[in-house]
Amino acid sequence: MTQNPFGQSNDQTHENMHTGSVPQQLNHGGHELFDVHEALSGTVACLNQAMLLRTHVKDPELLDILDRQYRFALDEYNITVECFKTGQNPSHPTGRYEMKQGNDFVYGMKPSQPKKPMQSVADISDEIISGFLLGSAKAGASMKTMAATETCNPVVRRVLADSVPNCIEMAYELAIYQNKHHYYQVPQLAAQDMQQLLNSFASSQGQPGMPNNTLQ
């Protein structure tokens, strides 16, 4: 009886292919392994970036956001790694990130200096740092969404899916911070154009008449 790389006999592997039963820690598909690996690698990069940027933060408010988001993201990373390795529920459920910012945006454009790449490390600012963090949160939402849609393991899929709203909340908090400090301006359409777009869809009323697909 020969052994495969996972320590199972070939007979066992053949049986698992037909019954669908595999060891819990191997309950992963090929696309899932690649996409979750990519999502976890991206999370590590985001955490490392936050660690490097922290020493350059000047605004206490931004430092508080960075620290709260870092702690939360690190915990999410740990439980994702845990369930990815074991295929089982992590030691605790995914939490819910709650921002401290209000949700009021300042709309409209004001004159400002054009943005350009830094010329040296001395140019780094809270505007640039918050932009890095915002980009990381947006990237995390995209990567985890893609990974969740490719994941076979039900526990890993749920952990990834539950993490996406937290990435969105972090991005929203950073966007509001940037907007409040005039780093990120939000233009609006003319009132007439906005109203036309808002009214361009209507609710469906009544019971739809579905076509009959009975074979003749």
Per-residue pLDDT tens over the stretch 22-64: 555 567 778 888 999 999 999 999 999 999 999 999 999 999 9
Position 26 scores a pLDDT of 67
**Picking from 11-20, 51-60, 154-163, which range would have the lowest pLDDT averaged per residue?**
11-20
Helix (H, G, I), strand (E, B) or coil at 188: coil
The region that residue 38 occupies, defined by phi over 0 for left and psi between -120 and 50 for alpha, beta otherwise, is: alpha
Q: Is the pLDDT of residue 6 over 80?
A: no
Q: Is the pLDDT of residue 18 over 50?
A: no
> 163: closest CA among 87, 103, 74?
74
Q: Is the pLDDT of residue 16 over 70?
A: no
Position 112 scores a pLDDT of 83
The CA–CA distances, whole Å, from 198 to 110, 177, 188, 192, 201 equal: 25, 27, 13, 10, 7
Q: How confident is the model at residue 103 (pLDDT cuts 50, 70, 90)?
A: confident
Position 39 scores a pLDDT of 95
Q: For residues 35 and 150, is the Cβ–Cβ distance under 8 A?
A: yes
Position 205 scores a pLDDT of 86
Please give the residue that has the higher pLDDT: either 105 or 40: 40
Position 80 scores a pLDDT of 96
Check: pTM over 0.85? Answer yes or no: no
CATH number assigned to the domain covering 25-106+123-186: 1.20.1260
Q: For residues 132 and 63, is the Cβ–Cβ distance under 8 A?
A: no
10: Cα within 13 Å, side-chain hemisphere: 3
Position 11 scores a pLDDT of 44
CA dist 185 and 40 (Å) reads 32
CB atoms within 10 A of CB 19: 8
Which tokens go with 44?
A: 């590590």
Q: Is the pLDDT of residue 1 over 50?
A: no
* Percentage of the chain modeled with pLDDT above 90: 68
Position 216 scores a pLDDT of 59
Please give the residue that has the higher pLDDT: either 11 or 87: 87
CA dist 67 and 69 (Å) reads 6
Q: For residues 16 and 22, is the Cβ–Cβ distance under 8 A?
A: yes
